[in-house]
Amino acid sequence: MPVQIIVGAQWGDEGKGKIIDYLSEHADLVARYQGGANAGHTVAIGGERYVLHLIPSGILHPHTTCYLGNGVVIDPVALLQEIELLTKKDIVLKGRLFISHRAHLVMPYHKLLDQSRELADEQHKIGTTGRGIGPAYVDKVHRMGIRIVDLLDETTLREKIIHNLEEKNAILSALYGQSPLEAEAILHEYRELDEQLDPYITDVSRALHLGIASGKSVLCEGAQGTLLDIDLGTYPYVTSSSPTSGGACTGLGLGPTQIDRVLGVIKAYTTRVGMGPLPTEISPESGIDLRTLGAEYGATTGRPRRCGWFDAVVANYAVQVNGIAAWAVTKLDVLDTLAEIKICVAYRYRGKEIKTFPADLAMLEQCEPVYETLPGWQESTAAVRTFNALPARAQQYLRMLTEITQTPIEIISVGPNREQTIFC
């Protein structure tokens, strides 16, 4: 498939990293289109486990070229740490990793503002990753952001940092009791970081256009997930970018006519980190502990993830807003030991059944899931490599997901490792 978008269909952590790594075997270019170091994409190969925050998960196949598009917000400190970590594991990055000169930078005051805001107001807390993502996108939209191109010229960079600090220092000290940040210290730090980033900077939109024109296949890598989308997610409990497929066009400088297909990555159940509604959340009293079974702890912050049953209202909404053509269903093996498995097929709101995903969070909070219960297969699927070799009840569960979402399943993941994958 020439140009394919890989999008998370739930609240993030669907296993996008694993699926992108798997698909990268047959891809030439892999390009991240939004988000920043808030993402944590885990890829397990052999005994080695890689957690990628900014660098596309396609980097672990040596033949790929990887890009960070203009829609990504780049924390140079986090990026250089990741580059160092991968270099130590003998992964070559020079000549294979490129960053858009139009991408915005995450600055030290963004991280401080993000963390201070979260600490200061328990009532309005989002449960962010504290990586400065919200404040960086606020400055972008407010037209105060500092971009990678701005690193080139010391005078412009100094002027922009001073301008930003006039506002940020006032907020940091008046609202959060923080000491003011020094412009010259930030300037010095970012000029030094720029020297190290310099070999990676390019015009990503143009590079992708040239690649597509010469017949290369492209994976557009989404971070986070549909329900964390700033426009289409469970606002305000969302991230500050556009993880949905539309974000790939603006975030990479591609036109919609250049996209061939959208693949949705979806867990066989549901998880979310941070605040906000999760209609199918399983209570601890139920005795069903998907968090332990699925090792559901955040790859970026280590926070425990909240877990729930598969929610078809969410899945159908994800198909609608992303134009998903097929699914990659992950973590099927996590359900292996359960005697019964539930699927939420609708919500009940004030006595009525609804199948559309509500925009109003107060309404969503009051929605009760309507479940269908299927028998569990209670056999290990971890070593299964074909659909037909799956236990009959696992096949039945997957057929039900296909039927209810009217979307075929193309990939099934039965474990964290690269080879624990079924291509249907």
Q: Is 390 in the site for ligand IMO (CB under 6 A)?
A: no
| Among 29, 68, 83, 133, contact with ligand IMO (rule: CB under 6 A) | 133
Nearer to ligand IMO, 150 or 221 (CB): 221
How many residues sit close enough to ligand GDP to count as binding (CB under 6 A)? 21
| Among 4, 13, 221, 343, contact with Mg ion (rule: CB under 5 A) | 13
Q: Is 14 in the site for ligand GDP (CB under 6 A)?
A: yes
| Among 5, 6, 9, 13, contact with ligand IMO (rule: CB under 6 A) | 13
Q: Is 126 in the site for ligand IMO (CB under 6 A)?
A: yes
Q: Tell me which of 21, 28, 41, 311 is the catalytic residue.
A: 41
Q: Which does 134 bind (CB under 5 to 8 A by kind): ligand IMO, ligand GDP, Mg ion, none?
A: ligand IMO
Residues 305-344: x/- map of binding to ligand GDP (CB under 6 A)?
A: -------------------------xx-xx----------
| Among 36, 40, 135, 276, contact with ligand GDP (rule: CB under 6 A) | 40
Q: Is 128 in the site for ligand IMO (CB under 6 A)?
A: yes
SS3 per residue for the chain: CCEEEEEECCCCCCCHHHHHHHHHCCCCEEEECCECCCCCEEEEECCEEEEECCCCHHHHCCCCEEEECCCEEECHHHHHHHHHHHHHCCCCCCCCEEEECCCEECCHHHHHHHHHHHHHCCCCCCCCCCCCHHHHHHHHHCCCCCEHHHHHCHHHHHHHHHHHHHHHHHHHHHHHCCCCCCHHHHHHHHHHHHHHHHHHEECHHHHHHHHHHCCCCEEEECCCCHHHCCCCCCCCCCCCCCCCCHHHHHHHCCCHHHCCEEEEEEECCEEECCCCCCCCECCHHHCCCHHHHCCCECCCCCCECEEECEEHHHHHHHHHHHCCCEEEEECHHHHCCCCEEEEEEEEEECCEEECCCCCCHHHHHHCEEEEEEEECCCCCCCCCCCHHHCCHHHHHHHHHHHHHHCCCEEEEECCCECCCEEEC
| Among 6, 39, 161, 262, contact with ligand IMO (rule: CB under 6 A) | 39
The minimum distance between CB 410 and ligand GDP, in angstroms, equals 14
| Among 15, 246, 247, 274, contact with ligand GDP (rule: CB under 6 A) | 15
Active site residue 41: yes
Nearer to ligand GDP, 2 or 298 (CB): 298
Q: Which stretch binds Mg ion (CB under 5 A): 176-184, 245-253, 293-301, 309-317?
A: 293-301
Active site residue 13: yes
Q: Is 64 in the site for ligand IMO (CB under 6 A)?
A: no
Q: Tell me which of 13, 21, 229, 333 is the catalytic residue.
A: 13
- Mind telling me the catalytic residues? 13, 41
Query: Which residues contribute to the site for Mg ion (CB under 5 A)?
Result: 13, 40, 299
Query: Which residues contribute to the site for ligand IMO (CB under 6 A)?
Result: 8, 12-13, 38-41, 126-129, 131, 133-134, 223-225, 228, 237, 239-240, 273-274, 299
